[in-house]
Structure 1
Amino acid sequence: MAYVGIARLSFRAGYVRSLKEKRSIVNSLKAKVKNKFNVSISETEDLDQHKSIVISVACVSSDRDIIEGTMRKVADFILNSFDVELIQEETYIDNY
């Protein structure tokens, strides 16, 4: 059985002053997460709000626990690597 997990992570970056600065942070965040974890990641919402970062992360595995652990590690990695505050975290896991 295959499991697909999707996490929607909302962050606040209160120090960001422009969309250009936000774009730089988001690009760095996405590259580092992709390099460290075997996931797909994209900025999916609030593209025009410079203090808000909303990303979605997708992961596929044959083990539900691996997906749950990976999503938790991704969120923790972002919090420890970037000066952002986690506002909301939603994770959905489905089996096929």
Structure 2
Amino acid sequence: MMNDPAKIWLIIALLGVGTYLIRFSFLGLIGDRPIPPFITRLLRFTPVAILPAMVAPLVIWPSATGGQTEPVRLIAALVTVVVGLTTRKVILSLVVGAVVFELGLHLL
């Protein structure tokens, strides 16, 4: 574990510069060119893919239980997916999934 504040701030600064350069490569270098329709279609799916990508590791391999998959998390995730697919309403599916998760924690 690093305890030296100078090393921590150096790492933070380097990560900030790296992040800036990654974003600049898209916005600064090719920002004035039109984006091909194929890329535009793919970029529409980015927000839809981010939430499941963040949640899936917590459902499948939660660190709170030492890496053991919990049935409550799986059931809540499945209910969320089913409600989302049937109703096509994101907020409703998130709320129903959270309620099922909380009820599952209290019942099991």
* TM-score past 0.5 threshold: no
Larger Rg: 2
Q: Which has the higher strand share?
A: 1
User: TM-score, normalising length from structure 1?
Assistant: 0.31
Higher RCO structure, 1 or 2 (CA under 8 Å, sep 6+): 1
User: TM-score, normalising length from structure 2?
Assistant: 0.28
Q: Which has the higher helix share?
A: 2
